[in-house]
Structure 1
Amino acid sequence: MSEVEAAEARALAARSRLNGTVEALQSELAPEKLARVALAEVSDGGARAAQASLDAARRNPAAIAGAGALALAVLNRKRIAGLLRRLRGKA
């Protein structure tokens, strides 16, 4: 085999490897696959965050009750302010 034929054979082998690599990248980077992987990771992350929150709530029920009371106070702040004004006006 001459040097030219050997070089052509190496080029053919390299081209074949490159085509295989390109095909593998195209299948890995397909939009459908990327979306499926991203959704799975987000779902898994959300489930872990929810479980961690539940575990924290079980360990600290007083903190959860305080946070709930604070949230209710913020949501009802206008009603609370009105009640306080009325009470101050009567005193």
Structure 2
Amino acid sequence: MGSPEQAAALEVWPQPASAAAVRIRAAGLEGQTGHLYAATGRLITSFQLTGQTQSLPSFDLASGLYLLRIGGKHPITQRLLIR
């Protein structure tokens, strides 16, 4: 799940999300790959972190629990709830 320092560097908001986009702040994780998974484990999308803060479109996501995973060897995982 990554180190405590890495986990503190990852913020996802709003929680729960119901807007058109979820914001991701990943200080120090630029260039890493992110993956969004459904609670069933199905990969929804992958993306590259291009800056400290970026948007992930959420308007086409069904209500439910998702997992956001950033990184490779020592990934950071955070829950994302969509209303």
Category of TM-score, reference length = shorter chain: under 0.3
Q: What is the TM-score normalised by the length of structure 2?
A: 0.15
Q: What is the TM-score normalised by the length of structure 1?
A: 0.14
Q: Which has the higher contact order (CA 8 A, sep 6+)?
A: 2
Structure (1/2) with the larger helix percentage: 1
